[in-house]
Structure 1
Amino acid sequence: MTDFKPKWPSRHTGKALAASLLIAFGVLQAPGIHAQPALPTLGDGLELTTSAERRIGDSIIRELYRDPDYVDDPVLQEYVQGIFQSLVVAARARGELSPELEERFAWEILLGRDRTVNAFALPGGYMGVHLGLIGVVASRDELASVMAHELSHVTQRHIARLMAQQQRTTPLMIGAMVLGALAASKSPNAGQALMVGGQALAVQNQLNFSRDMEREADRMGYGLMAPAGFAPEGFVSMFDKLQQANRLNDNGSWPYLRSHPLTTERMADMHARLPSGQASLSLPVATLEHAMLAARARVLSRPGIDLLRQWAAEPASTGFAAQPLPKRVAAWYAAALSQAQLRDWAGARRMLEPLRQAVQGDASALRQARLLAAEVELQAGQPEAALQLLPAAGGTRPELALRSQTLVRLGRGSDATSALETWLATHPQDATLWQLLASAWQQQGQPLRALRAEAEARAAHYDYAAAVDRFKAGQELARKRNGPNDYIEASIIDTRLRTVASRLREQAAER
């Protein structure tokens, strides 16, 4: 058995990651592998505590932050996190989210550049969403349906229950191996058959348990849709897309070897939940904002030069003018962003003009068009033009991040500092904005504050070793400086170093 290396599950379903967790934290160890320390238990001795589950999630997330596929795009992050928070609020209102769970879990979304249609739940309230999923869904309701399903895995503690179930099936596997070893003394083939048969029985029990969880997550997730402000029909239309995406390997064969119910079974269940008298599925309406952000996800998933060129040329194709407005808006957005990726700034600006005109009556879509225009100007080396497109103050994280980058580029880091510090006071886990603050302080000749901000950025991603290194560098620098501001900053660094060093020791002990 090899050590579990958390990665974005690029070519697997999200639940394959849960299966990997079972292997990683199972009690059965292969010969030569050191046994894992016992997991904290509660009640019947089989279920993880919420604190233990959060620690497991933190350890996995720490690896995902380092994965090249991890992406922090403020525009997409805000959109997906907003949908997720609406679902969390609905789960709380319906009594599906206990106060303990809400307090101890992270409730955080991570985006991955993977182009597959997938999302996955992790221990501790984390959720991974592939850009491929955002790029294929036709509406925010369809995206919400997938996230509602995964959220239900978290609120119902399915991962903890899977681990408990594996502990119950472990004696079956151990018994099969013992019987196999005894039988092998007479017949090697008989011994192998006994071991394989016993393991198959244990695995089958585990698969049956997982199928029940998938049905429960479907049912609970469907119930969250309307209270969260989403059309429940998005659940059914999303199942249609999943069936198309998996039609090559979801052809109905060997259903008893699946950890999920057949897609067709789940689709029938969702159709049965539609309001009585609704003969056919009413597809959720795609907003212009969603069309734009789905296009953004497709471009940022690194599809290759050929596809970027194809998207850049789409608005000039025959019959383009006859397409519905959401499709044209998505095409203009994808064309502008693709041209920017190809470093054709003039081409990107040409695509932005019809895009802005098309979304004039939609405030959310117009905001996205302005953000894209500012992004293009900044990438084109025109920070002054980018700043003209951004609000002087206020806005949410995308505006703050883009305006701070622009001000630093202009050598005006002092103008960005106050807004960044205000944001980070309430969002201390925002590593990207901590790094921007470090750049702003460095530009102002404040290396001690810059070092602290760099350390906070590392700590926000649970890289406590790197954070300790930065804090110690700050201590060393503080010894060489004697200003009053440096004394205050040095005191903050000393306090934070003790806290983060303690977390590093805990992290080492857990490993």
Structure 2
Amino acid sequence: MKKRLIAALLCVALVPRSFSQSLPDLGDSASSDLSPLAEQRIGAQIMRDIRWKDPAYLQDAEVEDYLNILGDRLVAAGPGAGLPFEFFGVNDPSLNAFAMPGGKIGVHTGLILAAQGESELAGVMSHEIAHVTQRHIARMVGKQGQFGVLMLASLLVAILAAKSSSQVSQAAIMTGQAAGLSSQLAYSRDFENEADRLGVQNLAAADFDVRGMPSFFERLQKNSRLYENNAPAYLRTHPLTGERITEMESRVASMPYRQVPDSLDFQLVRAKLKVGRMASREVVEEFERAARATPPTVAAQYGLVRAYLSTKRLADADRAMADLRKQRVVSAMIDGLEGDLRLAHDDPAGAAKVFAQARVRFPQSRRLIYGELGALVDAGRPGDALTVAKAEVLTTPGNATLWELRARAEAALGKRLAQHRSLAEVYAIQGNYAASAQQLSLAQAAGDGDFFEHSAVDSRLREVSALLAEQLRERREQR
């Protein structure tokens, strides 16, 4: 009974954010604790809904790769080494970051832009990692006993709706707090203090400047008065007190001073986010001024190229790119920008060459892989694109973007069965098993494909149909 109540409450909690998919079985109903397996399953389901249903999810492979590289560095240096973490961006100007069950950690673009140094950003992420490694959500459920179910629902509303000030989500949070949980605030302070302590330790172990963590929190607290009653999202979900800041400052004061320069990727990611989809006149002028400095920074020149490109000033972008290349800096993001510039000039063949050469230097860059595949198809080389896509899918079969690009190449080659088979995998990864089954049925009806391809489609359709039946059963049980 309890496991169904938890699932039902979680589903209700997710409604304001349009996360209406059914949640997985949470484990043994006789236990009030949230098991590690249950955490993983909940986190995976919520992450799937965020990735494919939330328009605020930042679909930017470069930013996400950067966050995961930074996050993995922090995880590897602390007690979370070996645990499955996933870091992603949220396209929102508010200052916020949040941890979800299963090691899913979201970072708002506003937080990245507000950080005055990479150590500040790393400090916030280290704090969130500590929430995960210490299993604060699971411990809260177990500690509160009979109120843990409602608290978990309220907590997930808080972390998923924190960037929104909607009355619905705030009312749901207050309902959970008012349900007899008089000790919740003190308990939350305990968790925050623990995350502060371990976050600072982890920050030092990962060779960052530990002073970046309290300095960012202190600045956030000082600026909060500008928001009056609408405090920054990070303060709403992470209660911040002067006592906490004092304790952090005291803790880092006894640690050795370390001056850590920002990575180039941190600077480039911030420049990219500042430009956005289309740079305003003010942003363009800001980068023009920065690029005229002596000497100009790589990030300023990169931002200027991207700003010109976003506003279709291609001749200016070409000149700025030539200046940027004089810096002789090796960077996947700069190579990717040059490939985008070739595409803007309607030169997919040239773009494919840029992306292919860059991938030799940065074989793990998803952004370069996606760029090369798209450029090859646009350049009339779908066969080459399919060869690359098949190789990449073998190593990362859960990457929906690769399957989409593979389907595009197969469509250009007239491979109808293969195209529908690839699209079926896209929908399966998204959790839309009904659409996946439909695509597989279309693949069965396609007039091409050999015996082995049809056999593979038949087998996959049986698997997807079983997943669909299980999904429908879970939804019925949760009504």
TM-score, with length taken from structure 1:
0.75
**1:460-495 alpha-carbon deviations (Å, 9 max, x no partner):** 232323222222222232xx44x5xx3222222223
Q: Among 55, 58, 61, which residue is 2:47 paired with? A: 61
Is 1:4 matched with 2:24?
A: no
Percent identical residues: 34
- Structure 2: runs of 5+ lacking an equivalent: 1-8, 152-173
Task: Work out the number of aligned pairs and report it.
Answer: 436
The offset of 1:501, in angstroms, is: 2.7
Deviates more, 1:336-345 or 1:133-142: 133-142
Distance, in Å, in 1 between the alignment partners of 2:176 and 2:368 is 58
Distance, in Å, in 1 between the alignment partners of 2:222 and 2:378 is 45
Distance 1:217 1:499, change over 3 A: farther
State the SS of the aligned residue for 1:121: strand
The offset of 1:422, in angstroms, is: 2.0
Distance, in Å, in 1 between the alignment partners of 2:54 and 2:175 is 37
Is 1:379 matched with 2:379?
A: no
8 A contact 2:24–2:41 mirrored in 1: no
The offset of 1:368, in angstroms, is: 2.4
- Aligned residue identity for 1:114: D
Distance, in Å, in 1 between the alignment partners of 2:254 and 2:338 is 46
Distance 1:110 1:286, change over 3 A: closer
8 A contact 1:207–1:258 mirrored in 2: no
8 A contact 1:250–1:263 mirrored in 2: no
**1:50-87 alpha-carbon deviations (Å, 9 max, x no partner):** 22222222332232122222232222122111112222
State the SS of the aligned residue for 2:28: coil
Q: CA RMSD in A?
A: 3.6
State the SS of the aligned residue for 2:280: helix
Is 1:296 matched with 2:260?
A: no
**1:221-244 alpha-carbon deviations (Å, 9 max, x no partner):** 222223334333332333244335
Report the counterpart of residue 116 of structure 1 in structure 2: 94
State the SS of the aligned residue for 1:128: strand
The offset of 1:402, in angstroms, is: 0.9
Report the counterpart of residue 470 of structure 2 in structure 1: 506
- Structure 1: runs of 5+ lacking an equivalent: 10-19, 26-35, 174-195
Is 1:475 matched with 2:444?
A: yes
**1:243-282 alpha-carbon deviations (Å, 9 max, x no partner):** 355343589x9xxx9764425333222222225376xx76
State the SS of the aligned residue for 1:76: helix
Is 1:311 matched with 2:289?
A: no
- Larger-gyration structure (1/2): 1
The offset of 1:412, in angstroms, is: 0.6
Where in structure 2 are the equivalents of 1:327-366 lying within 5 Å?
328-358=297-327, 360=328, 362-364=329-331
Q: Among 23, 33, 38, which residue is 1:47 paired with? A: 33
State the SS of the aligned residue for 2:414: coil
Where in structure 2 are the equivalents of 1:52-451 lying within 5 Å?
52-64=38-50, 65-91=52-78, 94=79, 96=80, 102=83, 105=84, 107-169=85-147, 200=178, 202-243=180-221, 246-249=224-227, 260-274=238-252, 276=254, 284-300=260-276, 308-317=280-289, 321-322=292-293, 325=296, 328-358=297-327, 360=328, 362-364=329-331, 367-392=332-357, 394=360, 395-396=363-364, 397-451=366-420
- Aligned residue identity for 1:345: L
TM-score, with length taken from structure 2:
0.79
